[in-house]
Amino acid sequence: MLPAIANPRRIRPSDPSRSTIFLPFRHSPPINLIFVGGFVSGTARKLYPNLPPLSGSPSPNPVTRLVASHPRIFALTIRVLLVEDAPVVLLVLKRMLANADGIDVIGTASNGKEALDLIPRLNPDVICTDLHMPEMDGWALTREVMQRFPRPILVLSASVQASDTENVLRVLDAGAVDVLAKPVGGVTADREILERELLEKIRILSGVVVFSRHGSPVRTRSASSSASTPLTDPTRHPPSSPTLLTRTAPNPSNTAGRPATNSPQIRSISPSTVSPELTRKTPAIPISQRPPSRILAIGASTGGPQALSTILAALPANFPIPILCTQHISQGFLGGLVRWLNADCAVTVQIAQAGERAQNGHVYFAPETAHLTIDRSGILRCLRGDLRDGHCPSVTALFESVAQSFGQRATGVLLTGMGRDGAAGLLAMAHQGAMTIAQDESSCVVFGMPKEAIALEAAQHILPLHQIAATVMQQVSATA
C-alpha cells in the first residue's frame, strides 16, 4: 500500500505511452514517477516497493488508471479551518496557505464557538486554532471537537513554546494532535520558517487517523466525499482523544489536578483487512520456552508519547527489568515529557545519565542529542555521534546495542513513527534471538517504522497498542 500522500497535485499526461505524475510526499520534494505503457518504472518501484498494482481494464492513460484505482491516495486538496481572533495574524496565515498547492482554507473563525458552528457545514480535514481567544479558547474548542466532530487539530500559539510545558500538555490532553509555536516576535518575524513548518504539519495531520472510543478510525475527508458529509454518527459513542506527534506529549490517564479524558480503545487489526506484507512476521518462540529477558528496549517517533504512556502506565512499580526508550522529540520537550510520564506511571521515568547502572522498574530515555546504549554489565552510555537512520538519538543504535549486550535475553518494541529508524535494529535483536514486537497498523498514528520492520521480517509479534504491555508482562511473569 502506498504511504498516504499529503499533497497530491499536478497530474499531467504527455503522450499515449508515457505519463508523469508528481507526488509530493511528506518529507521529500516532489518525485516524478514515470509510467511507461501502464507499468511503473523501476525507479518508482525501488522508491516504493509496495506500490499496488493498477486495478481495472487497460487504459491508454496509466495515470488515469492509477488515480481511479486509489482515490483516497490522490485526494485533491486538504481542507483547512483557521481559528484565530487576531485579524492581522489571520490574514498572514491565510496568505501563507493560499500560496501552497493542495491546501484550501475553507473557512475562518475568531473563537471556538464560531468554529463549532462551522465544522458540521464545512467538514474540514484539519483545524488550526489559536490557544487564547475570547468566549471559547483553543483548549475548550479542542475538547468539544474531539467529543463531537473528531478531526486532527493543530494548536498554533505563542504560548506553546518549549518552555510552556504545561500549556502543551494541557492542549494535548484535550486531544490536539500537534502544536506549533508562533515566533516570539510575531508571525511576521520569521515568516519563512513559520510557513514551512505550518505547511509541513498540516500535510502530516491530514493523514492522521483519529480513533473513536470503540476503535473505529475517523479519517480525514477522501476525494470522493463532499463538504456536506456528516461528521458524526448518532449511533456512535463519543470519540476519545486522538493520537499525537513527536514534539508533544500523550493523552494521559486521569490524575489529581488534571482533566480526565477517554483513553483510545484500539481494535485489534484483522489479517483480512490488510495486505499480507503488513501482517508478515518471523516465527515466534513460545513465551514459556524463552529465557528470561533482562532488558526491555522501546523505540518510537510520531505518536510515540501517547503510545509510551499507554504501555508504561500499565507496568507495576516492581517491574523486574530496566526499560530503555528512544523517542524522537523536538529540542526542549523531553524534560516535560519525562515529568509528565512520571506523574502517571508507577515505574520511575528519567533521562539517562552516562555511566549509571540501569535499575529494575526504571525507565531511561535517551537524551535529546545522544544515542543511548548499554553494555553487558548494564552500564548506560550516551554517545554523541553521527546520525543513524537519520536521527540522533536513534532507535536502531539502541536496539543494536541491546542485541549485542543481551542477545536473546532481551525484548524490543518498535512503536508508531515516520521513517525507518529502528527497523534494522529490531532485525538485529531478532537475529540474536530476542523477543521482538511491532505495533500494528490499526493503532499507529503513522505506520512507518513498524511497517519497515515488518517488511524486514524483524517482528515476531505484530500487536495493537493495548496488547503490548500485557504481552511483555506475560513474558516477564513466565520467565522471572
- Nearest-CA neighbor of 349 among 298, 398, 422? 298
Name beta bridge partners: 371.
383
Residue 144: which residues within 8 A CB-CB, separation 6 or more? Answer: 112, 116, 136
* CA angle (461, 464, 470) in 5-degree steps: 75
Neighbour-count burial for 456-476, b at 16+ CB within 10 Å, e otherwise: bebbbbbbbbbbbbebbeebb
3-class DSSP state for residue 474? helix
212, 301, 394, 401: the active-site residue: 301
- Nearest-CA neighbor of 469 among 293, 307, 355? 307
371, 421, 440, 461: the active-site residue: 421
DSSP class of residue 37 equals T
Alpha helices in 234-371 (DSSP H): 304-312, 334-344
159, 173, 328, 389: the active-site residue: 328
Do residues 142 and 151 touch, judged by C-beta distance below 8 A?
A: no
Grid coordinates belonging to 95: 496568505
Q: Is 421 a catalytic residue?
A: yes
Alpha helices in 123-266 (DSSP H): 138-148, 165-174, 191-205
Residue 237: which residues within 8 A CB-CB, separation 6 or more? Answer: 212, 213, 214
CA–CA gap between residue 57 and residue 63 (Å, rounded): 13
Catalytic residues: 301, 328, 421
